């Protein structure tokens, strides 16, 4: 298994959402197309944005913690017919329990727990790529505009306007990266 980190969220040319996982001790990147809700949930967790009421992944984490269950790690185990599969590795009373999951849900929960994310070597070999220099985000300072957008993002989340929040989040990401990832 190869440990990865969440390197970003992207939108494809067909307007589908995706997540980019980056190999921790290497150069490979693994893109996975995910649902818009899951992308929003992951982005909110990465940006430490707390909605006024728990969304589904927050609720899941709250339930696990209430039951004294921790998330040791998640494993992206296989790629079959263009579909990724994952497992949650939960710990309850020193016992490891593996639960089948979609990678997007597993990642959304993992970022909330701060848990490790692993990808099976065969999956990385089959679906990853090595980004060239042009694909590596170059951060530029546009402080005033970013601060304004960040305030708008927080207001949209507090008002539970998640679609608006997602659009603002995407604007922030584009400004931070200097270009749109596709």
pTM above 0.85, yes or no: no
Q: What range defines the domain where residue 7 resides?
A: 2-137
CA distance 6 to 104: 11
Termini Cα distance of the chain: 27
Total tally of structural domains belonging to the chain: 1
Does any domain span residue 173?
no
Q: Which residues contact 87 (CB under 8 A, 6 or more apart)?
A: 74, 75, 77, 98, 99, 100, 101, 106
φ/ψ bin of 5: left (φ > 0), alpha (ψ from -120 to 50), beta (otherwise): beta
Residue at token pair 């006024």: 52
Of 18, 19, 21, 20, nearest to 5 by C-alpha is 21
Does any domain span residue 34?
yes
Residue at token pair 């639960």: 99
Residue 32 bridge partners (DSSP): 19
Does any domain span residue 174?
no
Walk along the chain (182 residues) in steps of 10 and give the mean pLDDT of each run: 92 81 92 91 90 93 96 97 96 96 97 96 92 48 58 78 75 58 36
What pLDDT is attached to residue 137?
Answer: 44
CATH number at residue 97: 3.10.690.10
């Amino acid at each position: 298994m190869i440990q990865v980190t969440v390197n970003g969220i992207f939108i494809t040319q067909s307007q589908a959402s995706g997540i980019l996982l980056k190999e921790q001790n290497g150069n490979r990147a693994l893109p996975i197309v995910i649902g818009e809700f899951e992308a929003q949930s992951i982005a909110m967790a990465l940006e430490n944005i707390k909605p006024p009421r728990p969304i589904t992944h927050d609720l899941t984490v709250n339930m696990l913690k209430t039951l004294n269950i921790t998330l040791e790690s998640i494993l992206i185990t296989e790629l079959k017919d263009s579909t990724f599969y994952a497992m949650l590795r939960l710990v309850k009373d020193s016992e490891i329990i593996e639960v089948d999951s979609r990678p997007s849900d597993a990642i959304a929960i993992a970022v909330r727990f701060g848990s490790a994310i692993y990808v099976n070597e065969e999956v990385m070999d089959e679906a990853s790529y090595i980004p060239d220099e042009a694909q590596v985000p170059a951060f530029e300072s546009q402080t005033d505009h970013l601060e304004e957008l960040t305030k708008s993002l927080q207001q949209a989340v507090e008002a539970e306007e998640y679609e608006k929040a997602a659009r603002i989040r995407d604007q922030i990401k584009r400004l931070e990266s200097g270009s749109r990832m596709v």
